[in-house]
């Protein structure tokens, strides 16, 4: 079914990376003044300094302390990226938005450092989004990630999955407008959808999930993921470095795809599996009345 219906793209081999490419390790950090003033001493492996509350030094609260921290760049693991795809390695220098467990922005860090399991195990958490785009026939656009992708290559997943960047436009939080702008940007970058065909106003913010997953021994994900819905007919021109294939599917076809994944006949991304098994089909049945399902609390799935 999938092979017959999908547009299969020729993805470049990840073995053609240029040796010696350095990924920027510069990171920025912005400390926030906590609302409570309870003095605490951070664990020795954290590089927090006290912040100011009414002229007095104070440490972040217990709930935030684990997440509101900067991992010393001197202790960041050194990872050889020579064998990875050159275009994907360049993207590792993008600055993701660091957040605490309640999705409060607490700083920024490179995409590379956000996706290393060694840092994830220390609590590094970033903001992300997953787009589910349906056409007017109520079919869902899926993609198969290219073999060049650093995390979860060759996996089937929802329409588009990525991260807002630590820039003024994408940091703006009112009604998740920054995340929706980032989604518009990545729909263009990955699938070639013209910017005017899907605007931030066309993107519906439904809910958030918090999950963690390893791709391999080195790379993984730890995200609070904004779930975004779009229903429009669009023009597709996928980037083969990002997408191996893409296809519109019915609910029945997706259920069959999930069964194949359960039999290890194909691979799907862990976030897509979680969303599909927990929420997706009830939302899909109500594309014309999604507002009743809006729930901006964070669903903990890790």
- In angstroms, the CA 165 to CA 94 distance is 7
List 6, 161, 246, 247, catalytic entry = 161
- Told to judge if 160 belongs to the known catalytic residues of this protein, a careful annotator would answer no
What are the backbone angles phi and psi of residue 176, rounded to the nearest 5°? Answer: 55, 35
- Told to judge if 223 belongs to the known catalytic residues of this protein, a careful annotator would answer yes
List 94, 170, 223, 242, catalytic entry = 223
Under 8 Å CB-to-CB from 173, ≥6 apart: which residues?
A: 105
Among 216, 210, 92, 213, residue whose Cα is nearest residue 153: 216
Cβ proximity of 200 and 261 under 8 Å: no
Q: Tokens at residue 165, please?
A: 């960047």
Cβ proximity of 34 and 48 under 8 Å: no
Cβ proximity of 152 and 143 under 8 Å: no
Cβ proximity of 97 and 125 under 8 Å: no
Q: Could you give the residue numbers annotated as active site?
A: 161, 223
């Amino acid at each position: 079914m999938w092979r017959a219906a999908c547009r299969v793209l020729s993805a470049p081999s990840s073995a053609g990376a240029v040796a010696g490419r350095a990924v920027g390790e510069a990171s920025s950090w912005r400390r926030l003044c906590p609302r409570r003033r309870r003095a605490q001493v951070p664990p020795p492996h954290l590089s927090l300094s006290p912040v100011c509350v009414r002229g007095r030094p104070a440490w972040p609260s217990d709930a935030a302390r684990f997440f509101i921290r900067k991992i010393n760049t001197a202790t960041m693991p050194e990872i050889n990226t020579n064998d990875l795809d050159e275009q994907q390695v360049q993207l590792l220098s993008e600055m993701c938005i660091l957040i605490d467990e309640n999705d409060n922005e607490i700083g920024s860090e490179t995409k590379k450092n956000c996706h290393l399991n060694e840092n994830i195990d220390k609590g590094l958490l970033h903001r992300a989004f997953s787009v589910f785009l349906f056409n007017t026939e109520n079919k869902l656009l899926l993609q198969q990630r290219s073999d060049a992708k650093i995390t979860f290559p060759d996996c089937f997943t929802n329409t588009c999955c990525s991260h807002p960047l630590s820039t003024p436009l994408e940091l703006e939080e009112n009604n998740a407008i920054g995340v929706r702008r980032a989604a518009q940007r990545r729909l263009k970058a990955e699938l070639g959808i013209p910017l005017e065909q899907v605007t931030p106003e066309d993107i519906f913010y439904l809910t958030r999930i918090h999950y963690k997953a390893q791709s391999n021994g080195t790379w993984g994900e730890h995200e609070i993921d904004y779930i975004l819905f779009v229903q429009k007919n669009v023009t597709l021109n996928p980037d083969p470095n990002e997408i191996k294939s893409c296809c519109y599917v019915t609910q029945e076809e997706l259920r069959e795809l999930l069964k194949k994944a359960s039999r290890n006949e194909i691979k799907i991304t862990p976030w897509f599996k979680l969303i599909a098994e927990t929420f997706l089909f009830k939302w899909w049945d109500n594309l014309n009345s999604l507002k009743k399902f809006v729930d901006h609390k964070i669903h903990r799935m890790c």
